[in-house]
Structure 1
Amino acid sequence: MKSGAILGAMGALALAAAPAAAQSLAKPPIPKSNQAQWVDIMGASQEMQDRLVGQRLVIAFTLAVGPHGRPTECTHEGEGALGAEFGALTCTQVMRRARFTPATDDVGNPVDGRWSGRAVWCYGDSCF
């Protein structure tokens, strides 16, 4: 039986804030929840999990975060077909689970912002 090691992300979901380029933000969006709980290998099909065994896959993603603190869009980068599949899964899970204190403008009003991060996917022995 394979261990269901949650993403390296669960141990190493390296996430970093990236302010929106189009407007002056006093503060970028700030995650309200534990980013390690945003992604979970158990959301992948058994076939995807099997293809990931022995590998570590890094998916870079960027979220557009609305003034209400919820993601409104997600883009991702990953190499090859496996990267595309896990990138889509990353965005699906992060869009559903991530919540933020919204970005604010110079006056303190909630505004649209951007937040970037990386999910490190692994399964089985590649996680340790």
Structure 2
Amino acid sequence: MLEFIYFLAAASSTGNDPHTHAQFSPPPRSPIIPTPPRRPAYVPTKPLPNKRPAFPIPRGNPGNWIQLAIDYPPAARAARRQGTTAFELTVDRNGRVVQCKITSSSGWADLDDATCANITRRARFLPAFDASGNATTGKYSNRARWQL
């Protein structure tokens, strides 16, 4: 019976007796190492479409193709003829104009003729490219304004 009383006394004791206080420590924690995100498996894709233009692009400023001070036809200047000529160019694979077609007349044949003559002589382009990335013939349209 004494043992029983001793146990009760130990359970209610606040002393430093090692039998009365149990020492518990939590188990050691392992460090948490983040796992890298999973990368999807490599899946080959189609090649990117051709980024080159399908149409010719002017080199330089198209506004410099006609220089009014020197290109204005003398008879048109004397008669004070003015107008806007719309044109379409065919550009070869080397970026040179091979054809000039008037799509809307200025109303004056000499202004229309001067438009194609000067543009064909001065205009240079980066060529058009097909879907395979090869240089090809392309079309370019614009307008020239003849104004005194």
Task: Note whether the superposition's TM-score is higher than 0.5.
Answer: yes
Matches within 5 A, 1:1-128: 27-41=54-68, 42-52=70-80, 55=82, 57-76=83-102, 77-80=104-107, 82=108, 84-123=109-148
SS at structure 2 position matched to 1:60: strand
In our comparison, the structure showing a higher alpha carbon Rg is 2
- C-alpha distance after superposition, 1:49-75 (max 9, x if no partner): 12235x4x1100000000000000001
Could you tell me how far 1:29 is from its partner in structure 2? Answer: 0.3
2:8 is aligned to none
Could you tell me how far 1:119 is from its partner in structure 2? Answer: 0.5
Structure with more of its chain in helix, by fraction: 1
Distance 1:45 1:91 in 2: 13
Q: Evaluate the alpha carbon distance shift between residue 45 and residue 26 of structure 1 in structure 2; reply closer, same or farther with a 3 A threshold.
A: closer
Q: Which blocks of at least 5 consecutive residues in structure 1 are unaligned?
A: 1-24, 124-128
- C-alpha distance after superposition, 1:15-34 (max 9, x if no partner): xxxxxxxxxx9520000121
**Residue pair 1:62, 1:115 contacting (<8 A) in 2 also:** yes
Structure with more of its chain in strand, by fraction: 1
Give the TM-score taking structure 2 as reference length: 0.59
Distance 2:146 2:73 in 1: 14
Give the TM-score taking structure 1 as reference length: 0.68
Aligned residues between the structures: 95
**Residue pair 2:92, 2:138 contacting (<8 A) in 1 also:** yes
SS at structure 2 position matched to 1:52: coil
